[in-house]
Amino acid sequence: MLKKGDKVGFIACSDGRTANQLEQINRIEQQFVEWGLQVIRATTLFQQGQLNWLTSPRQRAQELMVLYKSRDVKAIFDLSGGDSANQILPFIDFDLIQQNPKLFFGYSDLTVLLNSIYTQANGKVFHYQLMHLEHNSGKEQLYQLLFADNCNPQFKLEWIKGNYMEGIVVGGSIRCFLKLAGTPLIPDPLNKVLFLEALSGKPSRIASYLAQLDQLGYFASINGLLLGSFTELEQESNGKATLLALIAFYADKYKLPIVKTNQLGHGTNSHILRIGYPLVLAKE
C-alpha cells in the first residue's frame, strides 16, 4: 500500500514510447503528482532512433532492476507494448525482484514479464496499461489499489459455460503468453484460471494459438477460462460467435467453465486484473 511521498517508476521493457506521446505521459504523471506521488522515468521509456532495440535488451533489463532495487519506488508501470519484451528475460534478476517486492503493471507484450515475475519471484503483478488512465473509469480503481490495497475484480462478465470457477489467474495476451512456451517461465497450468485476450488475430490465427495451448497441455489442467476482448476478431461480423465456437471444442473436451468480458484486454475500458492471485467467480 502506497502513501503520499512515495515514488513510482515509468518504464518501457518492450517497444519504447514515441516523442508524440510525451504530452499524454506528462498528463498521466501529473495525476500521480496530484495523488502525492513522485514519478521516476527510466532512461529507456522512449524509443531511441527508429528501432526501440537500439536500446539494448540488457539496458532495458538493467533499468528495470534499478527501479526494483530502489527502496523509495513502491510501484512500477510499464507503459510499453509491441514485440520485444521477451528479449530482456535472460537479463532479469528474479532473486532481486523477490527480495525487493513492488507492484508491477503492464499488458499486451508485457504478458511475458507479468507471468515470469509471478512464477520466478511470486511478485505482485497486474494486467493493466497506464496509458489508458485518462480514457476510462479505471482511475478510481487504480487509486483504491495503490492506496487501499483493494484489487477486487470489478469487471462485468457473461457466463458462457458452467457457473463456477476458482483458481490462480495466469495468462494475458494469448500471442505473447505463448512466447513463454518451452521455457521454465511459463506457469504450471494445474488448477489455474487461464485469462486470454488479443488485440490482433482473425479466426485462423486464434485457432492456431488455441491449438498450441492444447498441445502444451494447458486446457487439460486448468480450472476455467476467462476470456477478455479479442479486438480484431470481434470487430468482424459474428466475431464473438466465431470466438466462442473456436473455444467450444476445448471447453467441451475438457468440461471447462467459461466466462467472457469486454472489460479486460486492449480496450481503453479495460479494468485491472491481478495475475498470480486467487480468483473465484460464481454465477449469481
DSSP 26-43: HHHHHHHHHTT-EEEE-T
- Residue 191 sits in the same domain as residue 120: no
- Residue 130 sits in the same domain as residue 24: yes
- Residue 122 sits in the same domain as residue 67: yes
What confidence tens digit (pLDDT) does each residue in 48-68 have? 766 544 578 999 999 999 999
Q: What b/e sequence results for 2-37 when a residue is b if at least 16 CB atoms lie within 10 Å of its CB, and e otherwise?
A: beeebbbbbbbbbbbbeeebeeebeebbebbeebeb
- Residue 201 sits in the same domain as residue 233: yes
Query: Is residue 153 a part of any domain in this protein?
Result: no
Q: What is the pLDDT of residue 64?
A: 98
Lowest mean pLDDT among 26-40, 42-56, 196-210: 42-56
- Residue 169 sits in the same domain as residue 123: no
What confidence tens digit (pLDDT) does each residue in 119-130 have? 999 999 999 999
For residues 153 and 273, the answer to whether their CB atoms sit within 8 Å is yes
Its domain, for residue 117, covers 7-148
Q: What is the pLDDT of residue 137?
A: 62
- Residue 14 sits in the same domain as residue 132: yes
Query: Is residue 2 a part of any domain in this protein?
Result: no
Q: Which residues participate in catalysis according to the annotation?
A: 108, 197, 266
Q: What is the pLDDT of residue 114?
A: 98
Grid cell of 228 as nine digits: 477478455
Please give the tally of structural domains in the chain: 2
The Cα–Cα gap between 141 and 108 comes to 20
Query: Is residue 165 a part of any domain in this protein?
Result: yes
Q: What is the pLDDT of residue 163?
A: 97
- Residue 181 sits in the same domain as residue 120: no
The Cα–Cα gap between 105 and 32 comes to 15
What confidence tens digit (pLDDT) does each residue in 202-235 have? 999 999 999 999 999 999 999 999 999 999 999 9
Q: Which of 111, 129, 148 is the last residue of a domain?
A: 148
What confidence tens digit (pLDDT) does each residue in 248-282 have? 999 999 999 999 999 999 999 999 999 999 999 99
> 3-state DSSP call for residue 127?
strand
**H or E element that contains 104:** strand 103-106
Q: Which of 129, 148, 167 is the last residue of a domain?
A: 148
